């Protein structure tokens, strides 16, 4: 039997806006929760744990590609996505948010950074 998922662009955008209003430094989609979660500036330990987990997954091959995405604009704010391609995991949420109708967007899970330099520094750290 096929799995059906229900997504609402408005609800996804609202989740991102709530994170931005709270001052999140990074917002990312958690597939098991089917929702975005965020790290605030004081969440250093959790942030460090998640970033190390991504690096381990990249080295093990669970993550098959990682790249800097195009700037993402929402309600006058700019976010800087790190696009993470997990092996055999689609993220239709990202395709919906991009609003381009391109199924290639669903191959990547977004990690939205509020600062370009933080995203780029993290990507560099991941790939070394």
Identify the band that residue 103 occupies on the pLDDT scale cut at 50, 70 and 90. very high
Q: Tell me what pLDDT residue 109 has.
A: 96
Residue 2 included in any domain:
no
Helix, strand, coil percentages (3-state) for the chain, rounded to 5, are: 40, 25, 30
Beta-strand pair 26-30/63-68: unpaired
Residue 1 included in any domain:
no
Residue 14 included in any domain:
yes
Residue 89 included in any domain:
yes
**Domain count along the chain:** 1
Q: List Cα–Cα distances, 28 to 43, 46, 108, in angstroms.
A: 14, 13, 11
Range of the domain at 56: 9-127
Neighbouring CB atoms inside 10 A of 45's CB total 9
Residue 4 included in any domain:
no
Residue 56 included in any domain:
yes
Q: What is the pTM of this model?
A: 0.90
Which residues lie across from 112 on neighbouring strands?
27, 81
* Residue in the block written with tokens 């700019």: 78
């Amino acid at each position: 039997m096929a799995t059906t998922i229900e997504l609402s662009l408005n609800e996804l955008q609202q989740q991102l806006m709530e994170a931005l209003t709270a001052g999140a430094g990074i917002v990312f989609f958690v597939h098991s929760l089917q929702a975005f979660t965020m790290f605030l500036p004081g969440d250093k330990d959790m942030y460090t744990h998640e970033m190390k987990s991504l690096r381990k997954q990249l080295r093990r091959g669970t993550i098959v590609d990682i790249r800097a995405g195009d700037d993402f604009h929402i309600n006058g704010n700019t976010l800087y996505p790190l696009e993470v391609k997990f092996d055999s995991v689609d993220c239709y949420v990202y395709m919906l948010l991009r609003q381009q109708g391109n199924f290639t967007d669903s191959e990547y899970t977004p990690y939205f950074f509020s600062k370009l330099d933080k995203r780029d520094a993290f990507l560099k750290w991941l790939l070394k």
